[in-house]
Chains A and B, each alone.
Chain A
Amino acid sequence: MLLISHGSVLCGADRILEEHAARLGSSVYPIVEIGFLNYSAPSFEAAVARCHEHGATQIVIVPYFLVAGKFVTADLPIRIGAARKQFPELQFTVADALLDAPELATAVLEMADRAVLLPQAIRAARVPGSECQLRPDCPLFNSMACPRSSAR
């Protein structure tokens, strides 16, 4: 199983996808990898190569996207087409995006139960994160929301 996401310049933005991947390993999916279309590592191509190295013969690509927008309907098929050429022995299957899965309602309600009053929520969001690399191209760099901001 290959979880594919857009990628981000934000430090630690890949952490959530890693957490999902860690939950998804099973006897049915002994290999679970993550890959990004832009910015973050590993790239989609590197992730496919990693699945191949681990002995995968079939790869189910699951888009970690809420909507089937341009990245899922246009960009991803082009990247998969190139990967098919590079690894003709691999079988690729593409799953749907999350779309209107009824369990999304469960996820919303679960998170709602964890909501805290606004000032506390903002303070919690600024708890120092070890993943912060103080990258100047991060959108949070030098902002109040940066975990290492001097404004804290």
Chain B
Amino acid sequence: MTQTALLVIVHGSPREESNDDVRRVLDHIREGGKYDQVQAAFLDCNEPDIPTAVRQCVEAGARRIVCVPYFLHSGRHVALDIPQILQQCASTFPHVEIFLSPLIGSSAVISQILRYRARQAVGFSG
């Protein structure tokens, strides 16, 4: 059966707490068990970078890699950098199918989290 990896593409932060937040979110995804592999790749500040993470997924047996930009806004990174780097990866591994999704900021689930954060802050149900 074709192995599929989920590659979550994160900006990366010099603050270790922020990277720990992302790791906890990835742990939640792993617990769901939908993907054979769940990995993070960082544009900046952290490792692995995208080409390294893609190579690791392939070496671990993935023949299909689904990339999700862990970004709230469409900007240079989402519109330019990530597609360009992934295109290079696709030419390095022509036998691997690389998929790219919209950024997570376009999900309505994010609206629900914003509502929940507001509710937490004021301490009443809403």
A115 lies within 8 A of B68 (CB):
yes
Residue of chain B at shortest CB distance from A10: B75
A100 lies within 8 A of B114 (CB):
no
B58 within 8 A of A: no
List residues of chain A with CB within 8 A of the CB of B118.
1, 29, 60, 62, 95
Identify which of B35, B72, B111 contacts A66 (C-beta below 8 A): B72
Identify which of B13, B100, B111 contacts A69 (C-beta below 8 A): B13
Interface of B is mostly: helix
Residues of B within 8 A of A (CB): 6, 8, 13, 15, 17-18, 20-22, 24-26, 28-29, 32, 34-35, 66-68, 70, 72-76, 79-80, 83, 86-87, 90, 97-118, 120-122, 125-126
CA distance A108 to B103 in the complex (A): 8
A94 within 8 A of B: yes
A106 within 8 A of B: yes
CA distance A72 to B25 in the complex (A): 20
Chosen A-B contacts, 20 in total, with CB atoms closer than 8 Å, are: A28-B125, A60-B122, A67-B18, A68-B18, A69-B18, A96-B117, A96-B120, A98-B72, A99-B21, A101-B113, A102-B25, A106-B109, A108-B6, A112-B6, A115-B99, A115-B100, A115-B101, A118-B83, A118-B90, A139-B76
A116 within 8 A of B: yes
Identify which of B29, B34, B108 contacts A23 (C-beta below 8 A): B108
A111 within 8 A of B: yes
Identify which of A24, A102, A108 contacts B104 (C-beta below 8 A): A108
B70 lies within 8 A of A116 (CB):
no
CB under 8 Å from chain B, chain A span 103-143: 103-118, 121-122, 125, 139-140, 143
A150 within 8 A of B: no
Tell whether A24 pairs with B111 under 8 Å between CB atoms, given A104-B104, A112-B66, A115-B99.
yes
